[in-house]
Amino acid sequence: MSSTSFIMAFVLVGVILVTWIGIRSGRSASRTMEGWVVNDRQMGPVLTWFLLGTEIYTAFTFLGLAGFAYSKGGGAFYNVATNDVGYALGFFILPAIGLLGRKFGYVTQSDFIAGRYQSKLLGIVVAFCAAIIMIAYIDLNIEGLGAILTVLTNHRLNVVTADTIGFSILSLAVFLGGIRGNAWQSVIKDVLMFGSIAVLFVVVPYKYFAGFGDMFSQMITHIPKRITMPGPSPKFGLSWFWTTVLLTGFGQWMWPQWFNVAFSARGSRTLKLQAVFMPLYQLVKVAVITIGFAAIMIFTTQKVSGNEVILLLAKQIFPPWALAIFALAAVLSAIVPAGPIIMMSCTLLARNVYAEFRPGMSTESMFTMTRSLVFVVTFMALILSWLF
């Protein structure tokens, strides 16, 4: 068996195993709408931490952020500052959202908005717009998965086929496992991601340089303008940095799937704890950005796409068995975060749009429709990935 075949077989088995774990762990909690979407509001601190982490730290963090640093320079640190602002804000607002959700039975962001502003029409508009926008976000995850598999197979694998298989598995996991199942999948994905990036962060300086000190010295000597703002493009200057950080940091909790973490958590203490400890995830981003800067000097004579930097370095550094683990982490970073996005899109469309025009619709019928939409929404995202 060739190394490529071994890696792809390992990834396939790994994805199936992680999917089974998600289904197994979330099946009992996913028999009602509230259990499927918000785990009956019983998510503890550890699972909440991993769940939110996997939704924020996706394939972009794993691959795209290194590509941003590699191609656009020091402006990449905006992504670290954005989350820091968001977590500080979340410490204060998420517990309040969670308390209101528990008191009034809110399950989605649209429930919250319609209730607080006493406007069903506003809730419907918000739900429809958010659901449609998130289908495009699911497409982004599909594209990320396709890019990962393309590099791993040296551009030999049919990306359309790979995407279809991968997200068919994901749809089944979301359908059966719900938010709790996705949280346990997140634990596996993030442990693998932490380990893979940590190893790469340590090995790169000693394989391509004489250690960390030499690597940073060479950065200062050879690429000083690339590791500071604005980098190679004048548009990524200080004014761009602070406006982008404020816009995305203060708007972080407007994403429906992140907003819903407040409804899933066991209580205010759980939400405050995740806000305090979530910045530990930022270490991954700093490591990835540093690797992206190092790649500028490593690939000086090669024309490399920014999004392929991490994977190409991994292929050069790791033996096949280690590369297989790294590849599984990369694939899961594209698949697992799409779960809550799919769930929210389906729930918003069924509960906050369709059911509003069918006042007599039973809770059981609404739940059945919501879960059925999982396959419809995922297929729509797949179509987008095929067309664009």
- How confident is the model over 115-125, as pLDDT tens digits? 999 999 999 99
The two structure tokens encoding residue 321: 């068995």
pLDDT of residue 97: 95
In a domain, 92, yes or no: yes
pLDDT band at 164 (very low <50, low <70, confident <90, very high): confident
Question: Is residue 266 included in any domain, yes or no?
Answer: yes
pLDDT, residue 177, reads 67
Strand segments, DSSP code E, in the chain are: none
**Assigned domain for 174 exists:** yes
Tens of pLDDT, residues 250-273: 999 999 988 988 999 998 999 999
Select from 222, 204, 187, 358 the least CA-distant residue to 287: 204
Q: Average pLDDT of 228-239?
A: 88
Mean pLDDT value of segment 172-183: 75
- Using CA atoms, how far apart are residues 38 and 267, in angstroms rounded to an integer? 12
Residue 153 has pLDDT above 80, yes or no: no
pLDDT of residue 352: 93
Could you tell me the CATH number of the domain that includes residue 194?
1.20.1730.10
Count of domains for the chain: 1
In a domain, 331, yes or no: yes
pLDDT at 214: 96
Q: What is the pLDDT of residues 22-72, one digit of tens each?
A: 777 766 666 777 787 888 888 889 989 998 888 888 888 878 899 999 999
Task: Name the percent of the chain lying above pLDDT 70.
Answer: 95
Q: What is the mean pLDDT of residues 288-301?
A: 93
Using CA atoms of 50, 53, 59, 63 in order, give the dihedral in degrees to the nearest 10: -110
> Per mean pLDDT, which range of 33-37, 174-178, 229-233, 291-295 is the poorest?
174-178
Write down the pTM of the prediction: 0.89
User: Rounded distance, CA 338 to CA 74, Å?
Assistant: 28
Region 377-388: what's the mean pLDDT? Answer: 80
- Within-domain flag for 280: yes
Q: Which of 81, 82, 63 is nearest to 291 (CA)?
A: 63
**Residue 243, pLDDT score:** 95
Q: Is residue 54 part of a domain?
A: yes
- Residue 33: predicted pLDDT: 77
* Residue of 278, 370, 292 whose CA lies nearest to 37: 370
For residue 353, the model assigns a pLDDT of 94
pLDDT for 58: 83
Would the CA dihedral through 296, 336, 80, 75 be positive or negative?
Answer: positive
More confident call, 165 vs 59: 59
Q: How confident is the model at residue 241 (pLDDT cuts 50, 70, 90)?
A: very high
- DSSP notation for 13-43: HHHHHHHHHHHHHHTTT-SSHHHHHHGGG-B
Structure token pair of residue 91: 């410490």
What does the angle CA 265 – CA 267 – CA 272 come to, to the nearest 5 degrees?
85
Q: How far apart are CA 188 and CA 183, in angstroms?
A: 9
Distances in whole angstroms, Cα of residue 143 to Cα of each of 51, 81, 146, 256, 386: 22, 26, 5, 21, 9
Dump pLDDT digits (tens) for 191-216: 998 999 999 999 999 999 999 999 99
Q: Structural domain of residue 96, as residue ranges?
A: 7-15+41-387
What would the pLDDT profile of 121-139 be if each residue is shown by its tens digit?
999 999 999 998 888 888 7
Q: Within a domain: residue 245?
A: yes
Q: For residue 165, give the nearest of 351, 8, 1 by alpha carbon.
A: 8
Instruction: Tell whether 28 is covered by a domain.
Output: no
Q: Span 141-164, mean pLDDT?
A: 73
Tens digits of residue pLDDT in 331-360: 888 888 888 888 899 999 999 999 999 888
Which of the pair, 171 or 230, is modelled with greater confidence? 230
* Rounded average pLDDT over 303-309: 80
Predicted local distance difference test score (pLDDT) of residue 269: 93
Of 15-24, 195-204, 317-326, give the lowest mean pLDDT range: 15-24
The answer to whether residue 387 scores a pLDDT higher than 80 is: no
Average pLDDT over residues 171-193: 81
Residue closest to 328 by CA, chosen among 166, 198, 156, 140: 166
User: What integer best gives the mean pLDDT of the chain?
Assistant: 87
Question: Closest by alpha carbon to 53, among 185, 141, 147, 143?
Answer: 185
pLDDT of 119 reads 95
